[in-house]
């Protein structure tokens, strides 16, 4: 009986554990963002066509998400930060990479959001609970679904970059 109860509790806990995203910052910062945390943040809407279907996604700008673990934003996205990337990993191991500047509204008009809703409803199980949506991509290859980890990685050495400019 104890085994059956443990199996039931594990099964019930499984989906709850998947309702969060691990965040890793450029200097070792770490955080976990739950579905409730994301829902409480200011959302924006993006309309995108994926696989012939146009949908309106609601979510939080990715730049706002990665700022929570120390990523630069706004005017601070310059110089060495232009060689900072965001690696997004999905539950099935699929990965995409975006430049940090791609998430900055002062750099480009297109939006990149971490969506938790589509067409007014929570994302379907096969897409969610979280999905990256890149509004102006011509094909949705970078709109990773079932996102479980977001990492900010500096590719440049700031000191070397500064020395190269002098």
pTM of the model: 0.83
Confidence of residue 138 (pLDDT cuts 50, 70, 90): confident
Give the whole-number percent of the chain exceeding pLDDT 90.
64
Instruction: Give the model's pLDDT for residue 163.
Output: 55
Question: Of 156, 130, 158, nearest to 145 (Cα)?
Answer: 130
Instruction: Give the model's pLDDT for residue 3.
Output: 41
| Planar angle of CA 123, 124, 127, nearest 5 degrees | 80
CB 71 within 8 A of CB 100: yes
- pLDDT tens digits for range 116-133: 999 999 999 999 999 999
Q: What is the DSSP string of 66-90?
A: HHTTT---GGG-SGGGGGEEEEEEE
Rounded CA-CA distance 62/138 in Å is 19
- pLDDT tens digits for range 25-49: 999 999 999 999 999 999 999 999 8
């Amino acid at each position: 009986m104890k085994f059956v109860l443990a199996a039931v509790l594990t099964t019930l806990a499984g989906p709850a554990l998947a309702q969060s995203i691990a965040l890793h910052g450029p200097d070792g910062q770490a955080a976990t963002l739950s579905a409730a945390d994301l829902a409480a943040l200011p959302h924006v809407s993006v309309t995108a066509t994926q696989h012939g279907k146009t949908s309106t996604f609601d979510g939080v700008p990715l730049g706002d998400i990665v700022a929570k673990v120390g990523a630069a934003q706004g005017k601070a996205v310059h110089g060495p930060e232009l060689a900072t990337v965001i690696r997004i990993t999905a539950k099935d191991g699929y990965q995409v990479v975006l430049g940090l500047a791609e998430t900055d509204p002062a750099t480009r008009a297109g939006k990149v959001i971490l969506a938790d809703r589509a067409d007014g409803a929570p994302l379907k199980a096969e897409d969610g609970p979280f999905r990256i949506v890149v509004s102006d991509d011509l094909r949705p290859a970078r709109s990773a679904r079932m996102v479980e980890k977001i990492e900010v990685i500096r590719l440049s050495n700031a000191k070397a970059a500064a020395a190269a400019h002098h």
